Amino acid sequence: MSGGGWSWLGWALAAILFFWGIGAYNRLMRLRNAIGEAFRQLDQALTARAEACSKLLTLLRPLLANEQATFEALETAQLEASSAAQAARAKPYAGDPLAALAVATAVHGAALTRLNSLVEHHGELSGMSELHALLDELKLIERQRAFARQVFNQAVSQYNEALQQFPTRILAGLYGFAEARSL
């Protein structure tokens, strides 16, 4: 084979590698954007949960004056979850903000469970239709949040799997892609 033949083969190989690199980058960007879209759905559910909890606190605070510690715990957990969600909005595929969000939503869920238990133990509240409507709304929101969390985790899983596939993992570091964290 002459020198010109090797040159042509070298250019063809370089072109194949170049276009493969662009394809790998575009695939990872598409999958990372899917994480962002899934997070927006989860964020909407978290926002709806915070709004419903605020309404619930407004309703219950005057009725159960001696349970202020429970209300304060839920408010504090709600503020932490909102703050963690705010931090995660910019880069929902980054590990640290999502770790903080996972902890904050777990604490918020525990505080909300405590409040639900408190409501169940106060029989005098059983006839309040507004309270039951809010609790039903919260149950629906929790199911939506659980589904949105599952969709988010699936998007993260697909991205992480693509990131680990050979030969994409070779270029992932060059492109600045890192493994995403699930919730």
pLDDT tier for residue 2 given thresholds of 50, 70 and 90: low
Has residue 4 got a pLDDT over 60? Answer: yes
- pLDDT tens digit string along 126-169? 889 999 999 999 999 999 999 999 999 999 999 999 999 888 88
* Lookup: tokens for 77: 């957990």
The answer to whether the beta carbons of residues 84 and 99 sit under 8 Å apart is no
Least confident of 36-40, 76-80, 119-123: 119-123
Alpha carbons 116 and 150: distance in angstroms, whole number: 24
pTM of the model: 0.87
Residue 174: both structure tokens together: 């060059």
For the segment 83-88, the average pLDDT, to the nearest whole number, is: 95
Alpha-carbon distance of 167 to 69, in angstroms, equals 55
Burial of 136 (0-12, 13-18, 19+ CB in 10 A): exposed
pLDDT number for residue 5:
67
Cβ atoms of 92 and 39 closer than 8 Å: yes
pLDDT tens for each residue of 71-81: 999 999 999 99
